[in-house]
């Protein structure tokens, strides 16, 4: 089993898009994939075919003392996933107060999942940046195999990168911790600003930055509007090629570790 955590450096960086399309690309190369959305924004589901009106999810069931197992779904194209669910303000406040305990319970249960032996099983967790602290508190035997931080080549991301660099360095120095890598998303090669910030971030992050750059592509926005991933909406697009490259890079990285 391979376990990957995916977080955004800031809102709008695209971790929902990265999680869904990376999962779909892994399915394309014959991996068995489960996606867990742990972000209260609860929009990852829209990338995987779940109707906007469907508000069910594992967190909403936990808050209602229900069976979270029953919230599991499978996308039309073979990605198993657990949506977060829609929480009203009182329930959201209650969940936040017990977030780490709920995540630990869910993680422990999913660690024991058996999905068959014919394909390698991958679990992708869509987390929020503050969950990095929770990750450092896991037992060594329960650690994730990889943590991906999604950022954009712009001034806000660069500023936040400097602000959080101490946190990232402390995380990387934790014993038995998963490798932390950064993924540059929404790159626009036609703009000088985007190219400049990409070069600056390559210089700042070095080998921590994924060699796969994800381009800004209108096909991604169109695919979400159609409740699917870009691989099925526009398989010949730049975005579809980018995500296939990202999936292969993740496989190669984890095979070598």
CA distances (Å), origin 3, targets 44, 141, 155, 187, 201: 18, 12, 31, 26, 26
DSSP symbol at 131: G
pLDDT higher than 80, residue 159: yes
* Residue bearing the bigger pLDDT, 98 or 176: 98
105-124: per-residue pLDDT in tens?
899 889 877 666 678 999 99
Q: Hey, where are the domains in the chain? A: 2-256
pLDDT value of residue 257: 66
> What order do you get walking across the sheet with 80-82 strand by strand?
73-74, 80-82, 32-37, 121-126, 2-8, 146-151, 180-184
DSSP for 161-206, please give it: HHHHHHHHHHHHTSTTPPPEEEEE-SB-TTSHHHHHHHHHHHHHHG
Supply angle C-alpha 239, 244, 248, rounded to 5: 145
Q: Which of 34, 7, 13 is CA-nearest to residue 133?
A: 7
pLDDT value of residue 116: 62
pLDDT value of residue 176: 57
Task: In whole angstroms, give the CA distance from residue 163 to residue 148.
Answer: 18
The helix/strand count (H/E) of the chain reads as 11, 7
CATH architecture of the domain with residue range 2-256: 3-Layer(aba) Sandwich (3.40)
30-47: per-residue pLDDT in tens?
999 999 999 999 999 999
């Amino acid at each position: 089993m391979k376990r990957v955590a995916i977080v955004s450096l800031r809102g709008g960086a695209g971790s929902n898009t990265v999680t869904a399309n990376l999962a779909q690309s892994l399915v394309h190369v014959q991996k068995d994939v489960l996606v867990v959305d742990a972000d209260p924004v609860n929009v990852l589901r829209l990338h995987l075919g779940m109707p906007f009106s469907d508000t069910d999810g594992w967190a909403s069931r936990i808050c209602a003392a229900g069976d979270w197992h029953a919230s599991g779904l499978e996308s039309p194209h073979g990605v198993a996933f657990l949506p977060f669910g829609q929480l009203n303000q009182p329930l959201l406040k209650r969940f936040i107060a017990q977030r780490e305990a709920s995540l630990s319970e869910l993680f422990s249960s999913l660690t024991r999942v058996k999905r068959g032996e014919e394909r390698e099983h991958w679990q992708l967790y869509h987390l929020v940046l503050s969950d990095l602290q929770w990750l450092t508190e896991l037992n060594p035997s329960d650690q994730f195999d990889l943590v991906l931080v999604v950022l954009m080549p712009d001034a806000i991301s660069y500023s936040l990168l400097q602000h959080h660099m101490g946190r990232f360095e402390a995380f990387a120095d934790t014993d038995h911790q998963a490798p932390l890598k950064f993924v540059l998303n929404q790159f626009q090669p036609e703009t000088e600003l985007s190219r400049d910030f990409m070069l600056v971030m390559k210089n700042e992050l070095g080998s921590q930055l994924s060699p796969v750059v994800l381009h800004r592509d209108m096909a991604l926005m169109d695919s979400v509007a159609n409740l699917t991933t870009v691989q099925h909406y526009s398989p010949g697009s730049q975005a579809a090629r980018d995500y296939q490259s990202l999936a292969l890079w993740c496989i190669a990285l984890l095979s070598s570790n």
